[in-house]
Structure 1
Amino acid sequence: MTLRRCRDHVSRQRPAAALQLTRTAEVHPPHRGIDSMFSVSWRRTRLRIGATLAMTVAVVATSFLPQPAYATTYDRGMALPSFAVKPYDYNSQWQGPMDRALSSWNVTPTPVWITKSSSAPNVIVAAQYPGVTWFGLYTPHGSKPGRYFDIKLNSLTIGTATYYFDRFVTQVLVHELGHSLSLVDNPATSQRSIMTYGLDHSLYYVPQQYDINDVNNYYG
């Protein structure tokens, strides 16, 4: 999964039964005198009433169906939201912003707890990766519960940031760690998410409420 730069109807169909009733009501039989006309008119009225009631019941019933609050997680993350990464050592331009990415997740009201351990199989590496356009890359290995991952930060593309470089580094790593916490790229939501492409890194570089809700929904 990669973090890329890009700028950031409901059609309500009538239930089949109601649709059929409406179509039946719209059929115009030949006139057969006043009694027949009255009978046809009454049948039409009953059909229209029935169609209206069917639509109302369907709408009411649908409104009470359980709806998923969040649907932007996937199964390529870690089995648990608490894990360790291997210690990394970079200059101050990178070390501080990268550490802030870990702590940004740790302070959220979620079960997330990311630590460092020399024996951890999870690796975060910042290096030059020429010939690609991504800023960060999360790659999971193995299956749960023994899954581990590596995260690559591309200094060549991240280095193109002309302002708030430190926040950009933090945003990229927070995003990639989001994948390890089972969050998908570019969720279909109007709410702010650290997983959204093209999010202004000068303002939004830590987990947003939408992301926090997603993590709690998945691991809760």
Structure 2
Amino acid sequence: MWADWLERDSGGHWKPHQSVLQRSFRTREDTLLHAERFISRGDFPMSGGSATPVTLLRNRRDALLAAFREAEGDGVTLIREVIFPVGEYALSLKVTRERLADPVRATFGSAANPLRSLAGQPVKLTVLIEHPYDVLERAGGHLELGDRAAQVGAHTQEFAPGTAVTGVPYRHATVSVSRGLLKKPLLYRYEIVEPDPEETPPASP
């Protein structure tokens, strides 16, 4: 299940603006049920900007839920997708069927560290405190990885060799830094940035 905020580009097309939620469930039915519960709450946070939409009123939630229930996908990978305008933005809600690789768990200093598979690739970094809405910082750029540090753009972070890392190689990796027994860990989530097919130059004949 994917939930994202979109905004219009100069050509009037919807483009990704900010991710709200990405979760996986065991079955199609579970995913659709959780998607409807998520919509019913009406809470779709977006960081930055006082005029940014955050919560939909009841009638707008009902309209979004109805649009989601009526939406259809391709019947193969895409189950449902709806783009729902909200002011100058739009909410994109999508349920897909994908076979996800099992996550790898290792330490930062280990050869099995899944972050190693992202080195040299364009990534987006999100620094947060466990709950996906508590975003502290974002960065983007190619990942440069050292023995004890990871750099994305101007953001450099050092990690102890024993720091826990979980992720799916060549897709994403999250480094979990403990902040003590009574505090939730600080998470550094690195995700591969997929190229925009509209910006890919055509192949030469």
Q: Which has the higher contact order (CA 8 A, sep 6+)?
A: 1
Q: Identify the structure with the greater strand proportion.
A: 2
Q: Identify the structure with the greater helix proportion.
A: 1
Normalising by structure 2, report the TM-score. 0.25
